[in-house]
Amino acid sequence: MPLFVFACQECHAENEILVRGESVPECPSCGSRKLTKQASAFAALSGGARQAEMPASCGAANCCRMAGGCGLN
C-alpha cells in the first residue's frame, strides 16, 4: 500500500496519505477529494533504497558489500 504526498486544491494543505487499492483519497484537513499527487523525494533516487542506507566505503575490499554496510564503521 503506497504512501503518497497530496496537495489539496481546496485548502492547500499537503498531507501524506496511504492509498489502498482503487480508493480515492480525501484531504484529512477539509475532506475534499480534489487532490494533486506531489512528486516524491524517494522517486528521485536511483540505485534503490538499499544503496541510500549504506554508508560511504571505508576502502577495504568487499567490505561494504556485507549486509548492513561497512563492517568497520
pLDDT at 9: 96
Q: Is residue 45 part of a domain?
A: no
Q: Are the CB atoms for 21 and 38 separated by under 8 Å?
A: no
- Can you point out the beta strands (E) in 21-72? 35-37
The CATH number given to whatever domain includes residue 31 is 2.20.28
Q: Is residue 62 part of a domain?
A: no
Torsion of CA 36, 39, 43, 45, to 10 degrees: -170
pLDDT in tens, 32-68: 999 999 876 655 445 555 544 544 555 555 555 555 5
pLDDT at 39: 78
d(CA 9, CA 6): 9
Host domain of residue 8: 1-38
pLDDT at 70: 56
pTM of the model as a whole: 0.51
pLDDT in tens, 10-33: 999 999 998 888 888 999 999 999
Q: Is residue 24 part of a domain?
A: yes
Q: Is residue 68 part of a domain?
A: no
Q: Are the CB atoms for 70 and 64 separated by under 8 Å?
A: yes
Question: How many domains are contained in the chain?
Answer: 1
